[in-house]
A and B are shown apart, each in its own frame.
Chain A
Amino acid sequence: MSRINFDHVYYTYDVSSPLPSVALEDISFTLEGHFFSAIIGHTGSGKSTLVQQINALLRPTKGRVIVGEFEINEGKKKIKEIKSLRKNVGVVFQFSEYQLFEETVLKDVSFGPKNFSDSDEDATLKAKNALKKVGIKEEYFTKSPFELSGGEKRRVAIAGMIAMNPEILVLDEPTAGLDPKGAQEILDLFKELYDQGTSILIITHDMNLVLKYCNQVLLMHQGKLKGIYAPSELFYQEELLLETGIDAPEIIEIVKLCEENGLSLNRKEIKDITSLVREIKRCKGK
């Protein structure tokens, strides 16, 4: 069971400088149980800043964050606790493909588990499994990470985090710059991990993926949390979307059109084209 709780969290960059910039303002929410959630919001709305509070890469300027049994507040915590917090919450960064550094793909992926004091064999085994999961073929294991394409590098970086087997996996725009099929594959992988018990929190600008995969959406706007919604509710709230600069998936337009034409669709069921077609058929069949 995973639990993330934000309690009136504020974060300001460069507090003591002449130009402080407020990135988070009075954020309070709780994610509990087994979740597959998304954080969305316009660029610069504070998504990345929020996510970095979760594994104490940034500490709140005010307020506190509670993750499982760990409490993160303004003060300093002992390193040991931070390390086990980071083992429980894996954060994959925006542009994660640039963080690779080892001679081979396999070594790079086993770097994480080794840092958390796994033996070499254990780490290698976990790395191999993780690489298979993200769809990297065995002949790539001994290649240098610098010889891979951008998308492959991204997968390797994600594998690096999966190999650590965190309870909560947080990903900052994991699909940016991937082709639609690649993005689907990555999200399918997260779905698989989710089904196996990992909780997932992703930041994304791709609303189609949000609708299809997530069961909760945190909407950020100018450093504040607008609210937590179910995707099937959020994307029908036109005013809210307009205010926060979010474009609903195109499929929503089709749903609305169908409804105007007298079909009473079950909005909760509609997550992508396939489920929309199924819904329409169900209505027509009646």
Chain B
Amino acid sequence: MKELPIGRYTNYDTFLHRLDARFKLLAMILFMVIVFLHFPSRAMDFTFYGILFLFIFIFLKIAKLRFRQLLRAIKPMWFMMVFLLIINILVVHTGDAFYLFSFPIYYDALFNTAYIFVRLVLMLAFSLILTATTKPMDLTYALEWYLHPLTWIKVPVHIIAMVISLALRFIPTLMEDTDRFMKAQASRGVDFENGKLKEKVKAIISLIIPLCTSAIQRSSDLADAMEVRGYDPNGKRTRYRIMKFTHRDLFSFLFIALLFSGALTLSILGIDFYMGILL
């Protein structure tokens, strides 16, 4: 339980924390696009991945996040990666190969796996940095801001945003509840780690049922509390916190825009720094 909150918001006051949530969301999307851009050669691809990793490293440093957290987030992926590698080795039969105990292994298979792995790690890292430096509430505001044009075609954007922010708000509560119920049932002799299938099922039931009932109870309480305080889903909403785009954001935006357009240009024009010498 204690290990779960990966990418949880950290309450520091750093440059990254102070950036506008709307900008951070956009920046993350742009970074993700760069991750999936195709460059004319593998050397170029991996050069860009290297640059992105450099950025991630700098961001982690600026935001006072620990590199260990990222490693912990990656850990569960090992099994998947090994699996993927085996599949790739069996399926991909193009390009050059070398022989391991007279079994042909193609370089393309290795590269394919490396691509998937690196891209996943990059995506994970960027989203982790985003959620660790942005309050969930600000993130929903940002989302609402981007979705705002949809109100013209009668999509109830602020209701959706409210639902999202309530759901986010309940995550820590539910985790606390889970922790408490696990301990309570453990005191009654439930063993959540060992035991036969039947005992395991019983253990899970002893956890799920209290969780569901307390979640339903809590949400109905919350609904009442909102109603008595005059919440009207269709009313016009004003905002307590006004988001402001500052010089800091502008500067960062220009920087990211430059990086993004540079990467895009190189990709579209197919420019290869290495003139095809490498890989």
B partners with A: yes
- B189-A98 in contact (CB<8A): no
B1-46: which residues lie under 8 A (CB-CB) from chain A?
2, 5, 8, 10-12
Q: Which residues of B contact A18 (CB under 8 A)?
A: 10, 12, 64-66
- B210-A100 in contact (CB<8A): yes
- Contact among A52, A79, A160 with B188 in the assembled complex (CB-CB below 8 Å): A160
A99-B181 in contact given A19-B10, A164-B189 (Cβ < 8 Å): yes
- B188-A115 in contact (CB<8A): yes
- B65-A161 in contact (CB<8A): no
Cβ proximity bits A210-244 to B, threshold 8 Å, 1 near / 0 not: 00000000000000000000000000000000000
Closest to A91 in B: B187
**Segment touching B, from A82-90, A190-198, A252-260, A277-285:** A82-90
Cβ proximity bits A104-118 to B, threshold 8 Å, 1 near / 0 not: 000000011001100
- A83-B191 in contact (CB<8A): yes
- B187-A93 in contact (CB<8A): yes
- A57-B186 in contact (CB<8A): yes
Q: Which residues of B contact A161 (CB under 8 A)?
A: 187-188
Chain B CB within 8 A of A29 CB: no
* Tier of interface size on chain B: 20 to 34
- A111-B65 in contact (CB<8A): no
Cβ proximity bits A36-62 to B, threshold 8 Å, 1 near / 0 not: 000000000000000010010100000
Chain A CB within 8 A of B159 CB: no
Q: Which residues of B contact A83 (CB under 8 A)?
A: 189, 191
What is the total of A-B residue contacts with beta carbons within 8 Å?
Answer: 66
- A99-B184 in contact (CB<8A): yes
- A99-B2 in contact (CB<8A): no
Bound CA–CA A259/B180 (angstroms): 47
Chain A CB within 8 A of B205 CB: yes
Chain A facing B: main interface SS: mixed
Chain B CB within 8 A of A140 CB: no
Bound CA–CA A98/B183 (angstroms): 12
A93-B180 in contact given A101-B205, A101-B210 (Cβ < 8 Å): yes
Closest to A117 in B: B189
Q: Which residues of B contact A92 (CB under 8 A)?
A: 187
Chain A CB within 8 A of B165 CB: no
Bound CA–CA A214/B164 (angstroms): 48
| Residue of B181, B183, B194, B205 with highest tally of chain A CB at under 10 A | B183
Cβ proximity bits B46-60 to A, threshold 8 Å, 1 near / 0 not: 000000000000000
Chain A CB within 8 A of B213 CB: yes
- A164-B188 in contact (CB<8A): yes
What are 5 pairs between A and B in contact, CB < 8 Å?
A18-B65, A52-B183, A57-B186, A91-B183, A116-B189
Q: Which 9 A-B pairs have the closest CB atoms?
A: A115-B189, A101-B209, A112-B188, A99-B184, A91-B187, A57-B183, A93-B184, A116-B189, A98-B214
Given contacts A96-B184, A101-B205, 19 further A-B contacts (CB under 8 A): A16-B68, A17-B5, A18-B64, A18-B66, A52-B183, A57-B183, A83-B191, A91-B183, A93-B183, A93-B184, A98-B177, A98-B180, A98-B213, A99-B181, A101-B209, A101-B210, A111-B188, A161-B187, A164-B189
